[in-house]
């Protein structure tokens, strides 16, 4: 149980947490291999194999989320491809109710994302969630991904949150581990990041399947909806 009344700052990841990761998975696992195969005259299977190994090399680094890096590396216009399928960007169920509830209760709400600012831009234009945030921080402007302690040290200086009164929700356990080591008190793992994929079981953190769980647990919060 997360005591929402003791929380003053809410830090939220974007992809997989607030937004359905189906968009990103479809993009990197289907659309990019398809275009890469066409470009290099190889089969889809071969393209996927090559790409998965390239992705692995850059996982957990700033390159991973740098779409300009991937445009160069793969010789494909990644931002243009994202634009092409932006109709697949979806907000997870009850996210907007949750954000609205946080604002009504005067919580400071921050987005902390590894997403590239160009991707953040496409996603905030496509959805209605941007207006609920006091600030959005990308790992790009910080210079480190969320998996690294430096990200949190620098972000704390900018946002001035109190670790003891902060809730952070993310769909990546690795990132939550760093946040835990940094000292953020309340952590939740968002499961069902991709609505069309089964989750691997993870037992390291309390988890949240659906944001309605946070809306219903505290009656005083619920009343105001
Ligand atoms: Mg995420």
- Tell me the pLDDT tens digit for each residue of 206-222: 999 999 999 876 555 54
Q: How far is the CA of 193 from the centre of ligand 1 (A)?
A: 8
Determine the average pLDDT of the residues in 21-43.
96
Q: What is the pLDDT of residues 33-59, one digit of tens each?
A: 999 999 999 999 999 999 999 999 998
Reported residue count of the chain is 225
Determine the average pLDDT of the residues in 11-38.
97
Q: How far is the CA of 44 from the centre of ligand 1 (A)?
A: 26
- Predicted local confidence at residue 39, as pLDDT: 95
pTM of the model: 0.93
Q: How far is the CA of 222 from the centre of ligand 1 (A)?
A: 26
- Catalytic residue numbers read 6
Q: Measured between alpha carbons, how far is 205 from 189 in angstroms, rounded to an integer?
A: 6
Q: Determine what percent of the chain is predicted with pLDDT higher than 70.
A: 96
Q: How far is the CA of 92 from the centre of ligand 1 (A)?
A: 12
Q: Looking at domain 4-20+90-223, does it have CATH number 3.40.50.1000?
A: yes
Choose the weakest-confidence range: 15-29, 55-69, 94-108, 130-144: 55-69
- Predicted local confidence at residue 223, as pLDDT: 47
CATH 3.40.50.1000 domain residues, the chain: 4-20+90-223
Which residues are within 5 Å of ligand 1 (an ion), measured at CB? 13, 15-16, 171
- Predicted local confidence at residue 225, as pLDDT: 41
Residue 27 has pLDDT above 60, yes or no: yes
- Predicted local confidence at residue 220, as pLDDT: 54
């Amino acid at each position: 149980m997360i005591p929402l009344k003791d929380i003053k700052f809410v830090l939220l990841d974007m992809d997989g947490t607030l937004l359905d990761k189906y968009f990103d998975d479809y993009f990197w696992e289907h659309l990019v291999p398809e275009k890469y195969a066409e470009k290099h005259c190889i089969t889809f299977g071969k393209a996927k194999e090559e790409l998965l190994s390239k992705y692995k090399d850059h996982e957990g680094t700033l390159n991973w989320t740098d779409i300009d890096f991937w445009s160069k590396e793969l010789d494909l216009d990644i931002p243009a491809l994202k634009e092409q399928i932006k109709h697949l960007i979806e907000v997870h169920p009850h996210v907007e109710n949750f954000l609205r509830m946080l604002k009504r209760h005067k919580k400071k709400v921050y987005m902390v994302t590894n997403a590239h600012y160009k991707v953040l831009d496409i996603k905030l234009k496509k959805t209605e969630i941007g207006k609920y945030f006091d600030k959005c921080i990308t790992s790009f402007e910080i210079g480190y991904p969320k998996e690294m302690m430096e990200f949190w040290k620098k972000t704390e200086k900018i946002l001035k949150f109190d670790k003891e009164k902060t809730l952070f929700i993310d769909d990546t356990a690795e990132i939550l581990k760093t946040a835990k080591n940094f000292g953020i008190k309340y952590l939740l793992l968002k499961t069902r990041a991709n609505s069309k994929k089964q989750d691997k079981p993870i037992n390291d953190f309390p988890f949240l399947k659906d944001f309605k769980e946070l809306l219903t647990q505290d009656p005083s919060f619920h009343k105001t909806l």
